[in-house]
Structure 1
Amino acid sequence: MRFGLIWSEALSGLRRNASMVISVVLVTFVSLTFVGAAILMQMQISGMRTFWQDRAQVQVYLCATGSTAATCTEGMATEEQIQAVHDKLDSPALAPLVKEVQFQTSDDAYEELVALLGEEEASFLSPEQVSATFLVRLVDPIESDAIVEAFAGTEGIEEVRDQLELLNPLFSALTVATYIAVGIAALMLIAAVLLIATTIRLSAYARRREIGIMRLVGASNRFIQTPFVLEGVFAALIGAVLASAAVLAGVKFGVEGYLQSRVSFVTTWVGLGEAAIVVPILLGIGGVLAALSAGFAIRRWLRA
């Protein structure tokens, strides 16, 4: 009976402030959608970084015929210079950092170039003009600077290239996009909290006579506050459910249905499994923020 009375009071408040409730639902929906998108973007960045870090290599390009680097004054790298690179990678200083080393001769590199460009395009080069390359995979890709510094400026080496450095601008851009989404989500959540508090105060003012009667008959503050808190939580949860549906739909149709088939170089896309993790987070954020803001608003109004 007591719970039924509290619930009926909450529903009555929702009906009286329908326009404000719709506003709360929409603001909560938009803000939590941004929150969900930010979480998924961070998951995507983390997955991509892990995938590429495991496969990233440091490429040590040896001098080829026609190389113009200052370290290639003697022309194509000699057998002694190639062996010196082998020995340095096997040295006690670098060996603990190295996971795997592959040596690609100039002939192998030329064949790969022919397969990539076609015989007609590649015919303008000879195998001697294509650099032989050491492909070095590291135990910890973050320590690639040690390899780059060890071979920089070495005679017979044209260039040392860290593949991970080529991907860092992409990761940085995605991280900035995540921060922007988080910032927008935070502003929208603040707006939702303020709107919930305003809605509860207006609802309390509209029912000030009923509240006064309940106080006269000895109703506790908790009994008076509960219907108002339920109003805020109910409206916020509707918005959270809509945001969850939007996140699931975005992953299903936007990521799995569109991006996966069109962006082939990314193989670690977030899926419905990751979206399912985000859903309870959104519901929790919506419910907790609504309960806190509504409870604070009605307590302040009752003390006034």
Structure 2
Amino acid sequence: MRHTLRETWSGLRRNLTMTFSVIVTIWVSLTLFGAGLMAMQQIDLVKGRWYDKIELSVFLCVKDSSGGNCTPGADTTDAQRAAIDAALKANPEVERVYYVTKQEAYDEYREVFKDSPLLETVTVDQMQDSYKIKLKNPENYQGVVAEAMGLDGVQNVVDMHTVLDPIFRWLNAVQWGAMLMSGLLLLAAALQIANSIRIAAFSRRRELGIMRLVGASNLYIMAPFLLESLVTGLIGAALSCATLALGFELIVMRNAQVSIKSLQWIDWSHAGIAMGAVAVVAILLSIIPTILATRKYLRV
């Protein structure tokens, strides 16, 4: 054990500049990786909350409606309304169906646009009655929309997916872009670790050959190199976790949660998951390149 620790310290001291560059690369790459994981968890929280509130609105025909499955100059008939109600409730993707009368739509309109100068020009008869649909799985909405659009008496179907989906696509693109950048940096860190270990092993190739000839085990020969890269990786991981914790506290806890209280934010449990993943990746990043780099020196 003393020999392993002595050789590890000697290797770290001999390759100080290389060790420093590896630590910085691991630090930056793991920080991006952890930030990407936290961003992924935040997007999932926001998506779950907003998608859970999404309702489809199926607007029925009125006399001045155009488009859809409307008869010009006529409201949706009672028979059509009953058929629409039955078809929507029979759909396996639908959880609940609410009918909104013209009067209810008019009252809501007056509440929303109470300061509008055009308020008195709109009458109850001009409003559209509608069905509001609560889905079992808000992400499976296409089939319900397609079915509703094909029913007689339906003028239009409106849902928030047309607004939310592009937003989440951009958020996912930013998230995966950060993960891609961190992946490239992790690859660079792995190559740096492998190169530094390869250089250290090459400089001690005669000593390693003698140890192998006298019967030293592969683990005994490899232990100083493994410990050296593990120390480097754990230092980078510790710096990364400290950076993530500081950033989470300053950006999310003290600013985002205070300024945007209506949004559900990740907490320290989510940050802990990201930091745990960072530690696991750091260990793997240290061990795997070292094993690959020292294989040739374990053969006589």
Contact 2:55/2:135 (<8 A) preserved: yes
Structure 2 counterpart of 1:87: 86
Structure 2 counterpart of 1:141: 138
* % identical equivalent positions: 32
Of 280, 296, 300, the residue aligned with 1:300 is 296
The structural deviation recorded for 1:20 is 0.8
Q: Which moved more, 1:146-155 or 1:14-23?
A: 146-155
Partner secondary structure for residue 120 of structure 1: coil
Of 125, 128, 131, the residue aligned with 2:128 is 131
Looking at structure 2, the residues matched to 220 and 229 of structure 1 have their Cα atoms a distance apart, in angstroms, of: 14
Of 226, 229, 232, the residue aligned with 2:229 is 232
Residues 190-215 of structure 1, C-alpha deviation per residue, up to 9 Å, x if partnerless? 11111001111222344456556756
Contact 1:6/1:227 (<8 A) preserved: yes
Q: Which moved more, 1:156-165 or 1:114-123?
A: 114-123
The structural deviation recorded for 1:121 is 5.0
Of 112, 117, 142, the residue aligned with 1:116 is 112
Partner secondary structure for residue 68 of structure 1: coil
Contact 1:32/1:185 (<8 A) preserved: yes
- Aligned in 2, Cα 1:223/1:97: closer, same or farther, shift over 3 Å? closer
Looking at structure 2, the residues matched to 10 and 197 of structure 1 have their Cα atoms a distance apart, in angstroms, of: 15
The structural deviation recorded for 1:66 is 3.9
Structure 2 counterpart of 1:285: 281
Of 7, 10, 23, the residue aligned with 1:9 is 7
Contact 1:29/1:242 (<8 A) preserved: yes
The structural deviation recorded for 1:81 is 4.1
Contact 1:237/1:286 (<8 A) preserved: yes
The structural deviation recorded for 1:265 is 5.8
- Aligned in 2, Cα 1:121/1:229: closer, same or farther, shift over 3 Å? farther
Using the size of structure 1 for normalisation, the TM-score is 0.84
Unaligned runs of 5+ in 2: none
Contact 2:64/2:73 (<8 A) preserved: no
Residues 125-182 of structure 1, C-alpha deviation per residue, up to 9 Å, x if partnerless? 3343332221111223344333323331544322112333432222222222232222
Using the size of structure 2 for normalisation, the TM-score is 0.85
Partner secondary structure for residue 157 of structure 2: strand
Of 171, 175, 185, the residue aligned with 2:172 is 175
Looking at structure 1, the residues matched to 232 and 71 of structure 2 have their Cα atoms a distance apart, in angstroms, of: 71
Aligned positions, number:
298
The structural deviation recorded for 1:216 is 7.5
Contact 1:57/1:164 (<8 A) preserved: no
Residues 80-113 of structure 1, C-alpha deviation per residue, up to 9 Å, x if partnerless? 54344333334xx43x433112222233223323
Structure 1 counterpart of 2:59: 61
Counterpart code for 1:224: I
The structural deviation recorded for 1:297 is 1.3
Looking at structure 1, the residues matched to 102 and 186 of structure 2 have their Cα atoms a distance apart, in angstroms, of: 58
- Aligned in 2, Cα 1:164/1:99: closer, same or farther, shift over 3 Å? same
Partner secondary structure for residue 141 of structure 2: helix
Counterpart code for 1:43: Q
Unaligned runs of 5+ in 1: none
Contact 2:208/2:221 (<8 A) preserved: yes
Looking at structure 2, the residues matched to 114 and 303 of structure 1 have their Cα atoms a distance apart, in angstroms, of: 84
Structure 2 counterpart of 1:50: 48
Contact 2:54/2:134 (<8 A) preserved: yes
Looking at structure 2, the residues matched to 141 and 293 of structure 1 have their Cα atoms a distance apart, in angstroms, of: 44
Q: Tell me how large the CA RMSD over aligned residues is.
A: 2.8
Contact 1:28/1:188 (<8 A) preserved: yes
Structure 1 counterpart of 2:182: 185
Alignment partner of 1:98 is 2:127: no
Contact 2:32/2:179 (<8 A) preserved: yes
- Aligned in 2, Cα 1:261/1:65: closer, same or farther, shift over 3 Å? farther
Looking at structure 1, the residues matched to 85 and 26 of structure 2 have their Cα atoms a distance apart, in angstroms, of: 60
The structural deviation recorded for 1:37 is 2.3
Structure 2 counterpart of 1:251: 248
